[in-house]
Amino acid sequence: MANNYSAQGSITIKRLRNGDSLFLTFNNNGIPLYQGVDPNTGGVTPDWTVAANQPEIIPVANSVRGNAVTLGSHQWYYNNNSVPLTFNGAISGDWQADSTGKFAIRISGSNVGSLKIIANLASITNIASDSLTYKAVASVGGVEYNVEKSIDILIQYIGASSYVGFVMAGTEQLTSLVTSSTLTTKLECSGKNVTNYYVKWYKDTVEWAEKAGLKEITVTRNDVDGTQLFIAEFYENSGDTDYVCRAGIRIIDTLDDFKVDCYISSTNKEVDTGSPVTVGARIINMRTGAEVTPTSPIWAMYIMKKSDWSVLKSSSTNSIQVTTTETDAGGQENDVEVTAEVSWSDSLSDSSSE
């Protein structure tokens, strides 16, 4: 009897020598990584010098096989700088400031190694989005592995009618113990919170109609095939036809048997004029680490604009080419996100090859 399978992915999986795999994501304290700058006054919103407004970034690592993962040797990098931040400043409670006075690292209590932003990063001269990269050593069963992950800080001008929306998750990883995650939305206009708005939800490009109108939803392992992109589309009113902004977030099911691994298959690794990048996708059995080759897979790959999660290009195969047409869409140079999903029906659950 044939079995039906589906999987999706866009993240890198760290392959461990013992056949395990690690997932590294970031949790937060419910405060978005966003600052807006008033182009007239240079004022910044929200003010991250105020303790109540300060966002925290909390690294979380889990193992596919449920093995305990310990993170250590924490390092944070700001804006792709090759030199990590130096945390030698004042200590306040569980936190120690860095030499720039912009960040603090948790040195005691729970979530040691987490980062807090304690100063404004946006300014009238810095209206481009920033980034942070986390590097650490993950210990699993007495064996150590280097792991890293980056995250963007959205910075932009705010105008009289500029909207920005957010989706935040209680956790980005579902496990045998954490079987659901609550996705919460937030909408701002001109730097101020908007309380009355309407939300449409999407799984990738497919509307999740039963969740329409909900500002907060709960997703379970049944809603996630490996990795799932959830998109919130914000409207001023339920009857509007044009949304004011979109936001997205990925949730991982660490216990799924299959995972889609997206990788750069071309020699060229970065997009430039006349130099496209080809992204391939393959199915990985998460228990064995072997590549799975089903009989008749149905693929869908998308190049998505990260600012609003709109689809710039699609492919019905397990390969797609990214060019400057996509990265420079809208007249600005931007990174893009490639996502892939696949479904198949096969009487063999693992017809795989190394």
Instruction: Tell me the mean pLDDT per 10 residues along the chain, length 354.
Output: 50 49 91 93 95 97 88 95 94 97 97 98 93 95 89 88 91 92 95 94 95 97 93 96 95 90 90 92 86 92 90 96 91 87 71 30
Q: Which residues pair with 273 in a beta bridge?
A: none
Tell me, what amino acid is at 158?
A: I
Scan for tokens 């760290």, then name that residue: 14
Tell me, what amino acid is at 175?
A: T
What pLDDT sits at residue 348? 46
What pLDDT sits at residue 104? 98
pTM of the model: 0.81
Q: How far apart are CA 188 and CA 45, in angstroms?
A: 11
User: Domains of the chain, with CATH numbers?
Assistant: 12-158 (2.60.40), 160-255 (2.60.40.10), 258-346 (2.60.40)
Q: How far apart are CA 154 and CA 137, in angstroms?
A: 27
Tell me the CA end-to-end span of the chain in Å, nearest whole number.
Answer: 25
What pLDDT sits at residue 7? 52
Query: Contact 223/237 with Cβ under 8 angstroms?
Result: no
Tell me, what amino acid is at 119?
A: A
What pLDDT sits at residue 231? 96
Query: Contact 222/5 with Cβ under 8 angstroms?
Result: no
What pLDDT sits at residue 332? 80
